[in-house]
Structure 1
Amino acid sequence: MFSYKLPNGGLHARAYFNANGDIKFDPPVYEQRYTTTVRILEDPRWGQTFKKVVDFGCADMRLLSLLRRTAGIEHILEVDIDEDLLRSNKIRAEPLVSDYLQKRETPLRIELLKGSIDSSAEQLLNVDAVIALEIIEHLYPKTLENVPQNIFGFMQPKIAIFSTPNSEFNVLFKPLLANGFRHDDHKFEWTRSEFKDWALNICQKYPNYRVAFIGVGDAPPDKKNIGNVTQIAIFARCDVLDPSLSEQYRSKVSVDCRPDADTQYEEIFAVDFPIYLDERSKEQKLLDEARYQISRCRRIDRYFNRDLGVYQVPLTVLKDYIENIGATMQELLIVLKDNDIEVKDEYIILPEYEEDDDSYRHYDDCYDEEYGLWNDVEHADDETGNDDERGACGGYSHTKEDYTYDSEENWD
């Protein structure tokens, strides 16, 4: 086992009894399960992101709207045995208009697949994370028996997240269904100790894994002894918990389940999301970012050295960007030198104004007091003064009297 706590203090949730005496949860328990799953996947403690994720028993795919926005995920498999359910909820997997207007910077492929959690299909190879929320209690004994072999023997994901009802919490539900459970399709509902035994037995058979337990859906303050309404097991591969153990533990795992060449889940739908491809060279990216920072920093007073009359922009303002694109400071310096951008003592040196920057010029520079014109070109020689010459301020010449609010009433 290992110890695990949700980052940032966990969830803020509560349980209460309504006027009819029924227990309620705020937010609803299914939302707590979904947000907890995403927070586990995004937890920086793993030191990595999970690119390929499978969501077993995805049903109506309500979790998908969160998964598709989860950092690092590039490939999502939504798997369920109910083909009609997958087809009727296909719209949840389709790109939105916003996905075309603001394209992703990383790939995302979503596949809807008809298949069972105990079947070792070829599409499951190289999955990083397995999600199995509220599914194992729906499985017949033989199917449940085959699940560990498929997930921990064949797939061997970096992490796997299972959730199931905690039967100890059922004393607060009234009434239960005729089968004694919360749902008419449940084959069992486990206590915390039963769920723990199941998970630890998996780790004993597959020693490349350790497990931690958490829960969502707190009991009311005076019922804390019954645990949470939903119990969660987080299986983590030992090399994820401690990278130095990678080879040692993976060599102990017996992969006794191999896919047949013909073993495939049935594909119901698949889509690749639109992606923005930045085809600029590394040098062009560095130059563009440098010019952007130069433009930005020229408007920040703290970078202006009044004694020298120049802006001094620290090269460190570009540090994060340089690292993100895999460049070095030496490569940046070469790009700056090749484009005549001065660097001295770890600073980019900028004149107070760019040579082609007229933004600092005042209107008084363009107004001719003697002739009453917003113009500094030669004035008309005829008596009416109606020459159609452009003035230095970029517009046609106007007298003071002509330059009124009404003359710009159609400015927009």
Structure 2
Amino acid sequence: MDPSFSPPLHGQRHQFVIDFVNKNKPKKVADLGCGECTLLKRLKFHRVIELLVGVDIDGRKIKKNMHALAPISTDYLQPSFDQLRVELYQGSVTQRDARLRGFDLVASIELIEHLSLADVEPFSEVVFGYMAPVAVIISTPNSEFNPLFPGLTGFRHSDHKFEWTRAEFRSWALKVCLDYGYEVELTGVGRAPPHLQEAVGFCSQIGVFHRLGGRDSINHLCCDDGEGMFSYTLLYSINYPSLRDNNILRRVLVNEVLYSAEKLKQRWMERRMDERNEALPLSHAEGEGGWEVCIAVRNTDMEEESAACGEELKHPREPRQSGVAENRGGQCEEVFCINSTNEESCTSHRCVSVPLSVLWSFSPKISTLGGSLANLRHLLTDDPLIRLNQDRSAVLLSLPEQDQEEDDRDGYDLEDSGFAEDSRCSVSAEQEEDWEPDT
């Protein structure tokens, strides 16, 4: 009889670990005997994991496959708030290394049978007594299944030193639980034909060990004399990009602010062009800082829009913290200003001023990344790609030269105007919160 497995047996073993990760959400995971890093390559996509470690005695295998664990381009283009660090070590699982202590999950897939019987006890002491993880998954061949492989004599692999029966594996697992304070569930993958399943069991038998007391317990046999021991050689380490890194957060936020501000400016410029084409003059008002033009961008007809903006200028209201003004129908108006070059940060003749509060309301991503309006201003201040007004309540975007010339021809003389820091057509972004960025 030739047993066939679908999916392949090695894939079933790795999927068993992945299912455990999805269910139990471990943050620190180690794969002992990682070999070609196949399991690690799949686990890196499960971003609940913050530290992913592989250990193998064959450093050549690690070096050959380690670069497949590097971040891909989308990890840099669209970083998430999740953190992930990958570390690969060359070393023996019968030796202690303090960097492998305190993990949530240690997996050892088809490894123990490659050890000599004399090394099984040191392996047990290192993994369960010294590393003392919250959970351990051990898989190993079930020798009772071997007769189902045609032509197989001896062990399944030339490097195997032994292959346990189900009773032998159970005996070892129960002794580990007694010695080191764990409980075990015995299962497996690779089912035999239905009429033989009970007789021979799974092709790969698996023990899932849980430390008694879970995360809050401390193994009473955990030795402190090896606290500073580092016997493994670090071959590879990489930190995946994360929005918890302030430099990455700032870069992503600045790009989003520039994109959203330009999008709003373009919408406003298209509306201005429609007004010109329909011979509807822009409204003017004399504010404290000089002549300014206020444009309300809404999905309403042009006459209502001009009337609403004109009314706002005749009877100016106090700035709103929300960054938007409600019209008579309860809709929100996005408010912009054209300002002269009295602003030091605006090097062109005229600028479009986009309040931060409007950007905050316009883009959920900006509000999520910023944390608060106060912190949004903090992150944008002094960034070379961002120009803010004097009170840092708005982003300044230059008008294209062609639009400036058209304003001159149309008679909108803003040449002598000054920019009022408390402009009534801009909207205050003073929504202060006690929020400190991650360091």
Taking the aligned partners of 1:351 and 1:198, their CA distance within structure 2 comes to 75
Q: Give the Å deviation of 1:100.
A: 1.7
Given candidates 95, 98, 102, the residue that maps to 1:122 is 98
Taking the aligned partners of 1:29 and 1:147, their CA distance within structure 2 comes to 25
Taking the aligned partners of 2:144 and 2:159, their CA distance within structure 1 comes to 19
Q: Which residue of 2 aligns with 1:310?
A: none
Given candidates 140, 147, 166, the residue that maps to 1:164 is 140
Q: Could you tell me which amino acid in structure 1 is paired with residue 196 of structure 2?
A: K
Given candidates 167, 187, 200, the residue that maps to 2:161 is 187
Q: Which residue of 1 aligns with 2:51?
A: 75
Q: Which residue of 2 aligns with 1:271?
A: 238
Contact 1:121–1:265 under 8 Å retained in 2: yes
Q: Which residue of 2 aligns with 1:230?
A: 204
Q: Give the Å deviation of 1:224.
A: 1.4
1:254 aligns with 2:221: yes
Taking the aligned partners of 1:221 and 1:153, their CA distance within structure 2 comes to 38
Query: Are residues 87 and 341 of structure 1, via their aligned partners in 2, closer, same or farther at CA, if it must alter by over 3 Å?
Result: same
Contact 1:78–1:111 under 8 Å retained in 2: yes
Q: Calculate the aligned-residue CA RMSD, in Å.
A: 3.0
Taking the aligned partners of 2:201 and 2:96, their CA distance within structure 1 comes to 34
Matches within 5 A, 1:5-404: 22-43=2-23, 46=24, 49-177=25-153, 180-207=154-181, 209-225=182-198, 226-240=200-214, 246=216, 250=218, 253-256=220-223, 258-259=225-226, 261=228, 263-277=230-244, 338-339=321-322, 351-356=329-334
Q: Secondary structure at the match of 1:106?
A: coil
Q: Secondary structure at the match of 1:214?
A: strand
Contact 2:47–2:84 under 8 Å retained in 1: no
Taking the aligned partners of 2:334 and 2:230, their CA distance within structure 1 comes to 67
Q: What TM-score, normalized to structure 1?
A: 0.59
Deviations 1:190-210 (A, max 9, x none): 111111110000011112x11
Contact 1:64–1:92 under 8 Å retained in 2: no
Q: Give the Å deviation of 1:339.
A: 2.7
Q: Give the Å deviation of 1:58.
A: 0.4
Q: What TM-score, normalized to structure 2?
A: 0.56
Q: Could you tell me which amino acid in structure 2 is paired with residue 184 of structure 1?
A: S
Q: Give the Å deviation of 1:114.
A: 0.4
Deviations 1:316-341 (A, max 9, x none): xxxxxxxxxxxxxxxxxxxxx95389
Query: Are residues 274 and 192 of structure 1, via their aligned partners in 2, closer, same or farther at CA, if it must alter by over 3 Å?
Result: same
Taking the aligned partners of 2:107 and 2:28, their CA distance within structure 1 comes to 11
Contact 2:47–2:82 under 8 Å retained in 1: no
Q: Give the Å deviation of 1:156.
A: 1.0
Deviations 1:63-106 (A, max 9, x none): 11221112421111110000111111122222222222222322
Contact 2:33–2:55 under 8 Å retained in 1: yes
Q: Give the Å deviation of 1:263.
A: 2.8
Q: Could you tell me which amino acid in structure 1 is paired with residue 197 of structure 2?
A: K
Tell me how many residue pairs correspond in the alignment. 268
Taking the aligned partners of 1:355 and 1:260, their CA distance within structure 2 comes to 62
Q: Secondary structure at the match of 1:25?
A: coil
Q: Which residue of 1 aligns with 2:352?
A: none
Contact 1:120–1:258 under 8 Å retained in 2: no
Contact 1:130–1:160 under 8 Å retained in 2: yes
Taking the aligned partners of 2:160 and 2:224, their CA distance within structure 1 comes to 27
What percent of counterpart residues are identical?
35
Q: Give the Å deviation of 1:166.
A: 0.9
Contact 2:324–2:333 under 8 Å retained in 1: no
Taking the aligned partners of 2:225 and 2:176, their CA distance within structure 1 comes to 19
Q: Give the Å deviation of 1:170.
A: 0.8
Taking the aligned partners of 2:129 and 2:143, their CA distance within structure 1 comes to 29
Q: Secondary structure at the match of 2:128?
A: helix
Q: Secondary structure at the match of 1:171?
A: helix
Q: Secondary structure at the match of 2:235?
A: strand
Contact 1:120–1:257 under 8 Å retained in 2: no
Q: Give the Å deviation of 1:126.
A: 2.3
